[in-house]
Amino acid sequence: MMSSMRTSALLFLAFAFPSVTASAQTVPPPASYRAVSASEIGYALNDWRRLRQSDGYAFADFARFLNANPGWPEESRMRRAAERQMRSGEHGPTVIAFFRSQKPRTGNGWTRYAEALSAAGRTSEALTAAREAWASSDLAAADEAAIRARFLSSFTMADHDRRADSLLFDKNPAGAAALLGSVSPARRAAFQARVAMQTSAPNSDALYRVVEGQTATDAGLLMDRLRFLKDTYRNVSGARVLAARPHRFAIRPADAERWYDMLLVLAREAYNAGAWQQAYAIASQADDAFASGTDISDQSYAIRDNYTSLTWLAGQAALTGTRNYSAAASEFAKYARGGRSLQVTTKGYYWAGRAMAYASRGADANRYFQQAAAYPELFYGQLALERLGRPIPPPGDFRRCW
């Protein structure tokens, strides 16, 4: 008889990875297939249970498990904890293996990755990782010193521009000011104005006026002017006016999450004041934070959450405020594509369909309703079926979506 541990391990694998167990019955194993013993399964399950209890284990503990068992539940949380726990001198091959599938998210992670790649003789890749570490606003003082000592001579003015921009998004004007002698001449005046505004220097406005025209192309400069108006001058209405102006960033936000936070605050202020067109103008420019073609659903939860909040607000402002139904449909469709949950998908496409229906564009409305109706087990999928005049199938006929 199986031990209780073996039984629970096999049940865990069966429920966590159903496609694997099902396909094993019909598809011959690949050449690299290796049978896994019950003791190995039990050990992995015990390790998983232990590691999920605390974020305080050493990087080596997390990495050993995650490198051997990709795709297990709570992998993302464990990876974040592992990266926080990394220290100088970690085993290089383990670090490289850990970042093979997902790149670092912190200055600490990029520094350790650069060190490991350098030790492995992968010089070009090490320099790329060091540049990412240098551009990280959370780079610790010791890691900054290590990056300086090993890679500074290979950095360009563009690398220093990225670091100054990142530090200013993180509200670290002192760190950015220390780099002013190393940044590119083309961006130095904007950085000086941003440092001045963050420190409330007496010449803040004078320095800003010199580069004011760059707010349409430099997200960091616009961000700091909005902060200055809102927080220093307490001029929220002025910040709203500036944020609503069209922009096409050549220099995108160094921190998209913080940028979206600002847009949300100002767009909600405008929406609550009944300034529908202004609210739409602010919120509808969310896509400018990323290069064209970027899949927002691949971004972090915080970015996805802010993005869907902005596109929903823009859609509502256009639908119920300005009654620009085509614009509303566009925003609701962006909302549908911006998340990972089917609730977001169906809600967005349903309301895009409603907006097209208000615009008397029946074919376009039905196209959106059909996209929502693909998930009849969900609330908005059922509403979409109703709009299409189709019956809601009984629960046993629902297509499996999860």
Place of tokens 């376009």: 364
pLDDT tens, residue by residue, 118-146: 999 999 999 999 999 999 999 999 999 99
The mean of the pLDDT values for the chain is: 91
pLDDT tens, residue by residue, 83-119: 999 999 999 999 999 999 999 999 999 999 999 999 9
Structure tokens at 377: 């087990």
Query: In which band, very low, low, confident or very high, does the pLDDT at 395 lie, cut at 50, 70 and 90?
Result: confident
Nearest to 356 by CA among 330, 377, 380: 330
Q: Which range among 232-246, 359-373, 384-398 shows the weakest confidence by mean pLDDT?
A: 384-398
Helix pair 141-151, 107-119: axis angle to 10 deg: 40
- pLDDT score, position 39: 67
Place of tokens 């503990």: 61
pLDDT tops 80 at residue 284: yes
The H-or-E segment that residue 356 falls in is helix 342-358
249-to-67, 214, 254, 287 alpha-carbon distances in Å: 38, 9, 12, 10
pLDDT tens, residue by residue, 56-79: 999 999 999 999 999 999 999 999
**DSSP per-residue letters across 26-90:** TSPPPTT-----HHHHHHHHHHHHHHTT-S-S-HHHHHHHHHHSTT-TTHHHHHHHHHHH--TT-
- pLDDT score, position 42: 78
pLDDT tens, residue by residue, 184-223: 999 999 999 999 999 999 999 999 999 999 999 999 999 9
The amino acid at 247: H
Domain chopping of the chain, boundaries: 44-62+80-155, 157-254
Distance CA(65)–CA(82), nearest Å, equals: 11
Nearest to 304 by CA among 330, 292, 286, 280: 286
Distance CA(173)–CA(166), nearest Å, equals: 10
Dihedral of CA atoms 276, 282, 287, 288 in degrees, nearest 10, equals 150
Nearest to 163 by CA among 142, 177, 149, 145: 177
The mean per-residue pLDDT over the stretch 328-355 comes to: 98
Distance CA(184)–CA(21), nearest Å, equals: 56
